[in-house]
């Protein structure tokens, strides 16, 4: 090979493309997404506070809500024209005929596809629910059934809305294990997951952050956290007026500070890197009866505090 010859790698293929999408809510809410392109063979998380437009975006993409303008296409086609084998969806609002047995729902689903994942059924503990009617399943059990149906056929595009919100810890861990072990890239399957949970968001290689109907961040979760808050989070709880004053003075400059007040006591959230923690913690030892916790900054912190402007 000629040493001067360049090797040109193929550009990533966009599986899901949203163009100039505007959706108007009945309460005056406006979702405005000028452009969003999701790579084929990737898993992407959409995060944001309640009412930020996460579910509205999914419903607009799926054609379940009529957009004022713009569109969304998967591999060049509108999603409402995709065949069943290409699309798997879990929405919180989805339901089934209440009197149907879970086993009947599974049989109907299996009849529509050439292949379904038996291992996933075992992972989510679906078999134990077969003899229960859907109406007698708990919220978490219904959610497990819905998640299984969305993923079992190995669709080219999976769209999941808050999939772990009603699951117990064991079921949530099993779900995350399945998503984490799926080789999305080699199978050229794409997954979009709406979540407010840090553990779910960390499954994704890319996070899209919505606030008040607009995309305010897009990239790896840790990069968004570092840019907006910092990787470390110190919470100082139930501070008296005197403690509040003295601690505010002790916080190193350059830290990101957020505060809450319940009418009697203050809580201070301090974000930054390891440096601020090393500087501040020794000073806190002199404060008697002071309650504080230190942890890594997560997706929940980004959603809750990332858009406030009260930096130190």
How far from each other are the two terminal CA atoms of the chain, in whole angstroms?
Answer: 57
pLDDT in tens, 7-19: 544 455 888 999 9
CB-count exposure of residue 231 (10 Å: 0-12, 13-18, 19+) = middle
Residues 157 and 272 in one domain: no
pTM of the model: 0.88
300's CB contacts (< 8 A; 6+ apart) are: 196, 197, 198
Residues 153 and 238 in one domain: no
Residues 132 and 250 in one domain: no
pLDDT in tens, 257-301: 999 888 888 899 999 988 888 888 887 766 666 788 899 999 999
Mean predicted confidence (pLDDT) in 237-251:
84
Report the CATH number that the domain containing residue 29 is assigned in CATH.
3.40.50.300
Closest CA to 105 of 61, 60, 150, 66: 150
Structure tokens at 126: 């679906």
Report the CATH number that the domain containing residue 234 is assigned in CATH.
3.30.70
* Per-residue confidence band for 1, with pLDDT thresholds at 50, 70 and 90: very low
Residues 231 and 215 in one domain: no
Contact 94, 146 (CB under 8 A): yes
Q: According to the model, what pLDDT value does residue 6 have?
A: 53
Q: Where among 219, 244, 264 does a domain terminate?
A: 219
Residues 93 and 232 in one domain: no
Mean predicted confidence (pLDDT) in 73-87:
79
Highest mean pLDDT: which of 9-23, 163-177, 242-256? 163-177
Q: Where among 172, 190, 219 does a domain terminate?
A: 219
State the chain's mean pLDDT as an integer: 89
Host domain of residue 238: 227-305
State how many domains the chain has. Answer: 2
Residues 207 and 245 in one domain: no
Residue with tokens 């190193």: 252
Residues 204 and 68 in one domain: yes
Sheet holding 69-74, edge to edge: 30-39, 14-24, 69-74, 77-78
Residues 205 and 262 in one domain: no
pLDDT in tens, 122-168: 999 999 999 999 999 999 999 999 999 999 999 999 999 999 998 99
pLDDT in tens, 190-213: 999 999 899 999 999 999 999 999
Sign of the Cα pseudo-torsion (55, 61, 63, 69, in order): positive
Residues 141 and 182 in one domain: yes
């Amino acid at each position: 090979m000629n040493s001067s010859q360049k090797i040109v790698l193929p550009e990533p293929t966009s599986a899901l493309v949203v163009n100039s999408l505007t959706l108007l809510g009945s309460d005056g809410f406006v979702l405005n997404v000028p452009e969003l392109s999701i790579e084929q063979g990737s898993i992407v998380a959409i995060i944001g506070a309640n009412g930020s437009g996460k579910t509205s975006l999914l419903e607009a993409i799926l054609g379940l809500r009529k957009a004022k303008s713009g569109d969304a296409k998967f591999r060049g086609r509108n999603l409402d024209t995709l065949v069943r084998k290409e699309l798997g969806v879990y929405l919180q609002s989805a339901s089934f005929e209440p009197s149907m047995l879970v086993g009947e729902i599974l049989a109907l689903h299996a009849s529509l596809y050439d292949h379904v994942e038996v291992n996933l059924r075992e992972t989510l503990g679906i078999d134990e629910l077969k003899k229960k009617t859907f109406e007698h399943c708990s919220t978490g059990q219904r959610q497990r059934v819905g998640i299984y149906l969305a993923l079992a056929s190995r669709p080219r595009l999976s769209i999941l809305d808050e999939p772990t919100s009603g699951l117990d810890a064991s079921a949530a861990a099993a779900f995350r294990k399945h998503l984490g072990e799926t080789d999305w890239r080699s199978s050229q399957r794409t997954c979009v997951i709406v979540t407010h949970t840090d553990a779910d968001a960390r499954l994704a290689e890319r996070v899209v952050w919505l606030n008040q109907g607009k995309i305010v961040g897009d990239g790896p979760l840790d990069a968004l956290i570092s840019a907006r808050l910092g990787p470390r989070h110190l919470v100082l709880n139930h501070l008296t007026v005197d403690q509040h004053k003295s601690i505010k003075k002790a916080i190193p400059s350059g830290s990101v500070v957020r505060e809450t007040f319940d009418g009697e006591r203050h809580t201070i959230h301090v974000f930054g890197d390891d440096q601020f923690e090393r500087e501040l913690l020794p000073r806190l030892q002199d404060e008697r009866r002071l309650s504080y916790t230190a942890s890594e900054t997560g997706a929940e912190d980004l959603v809750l505090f990332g858009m406030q402007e009260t930096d130190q």
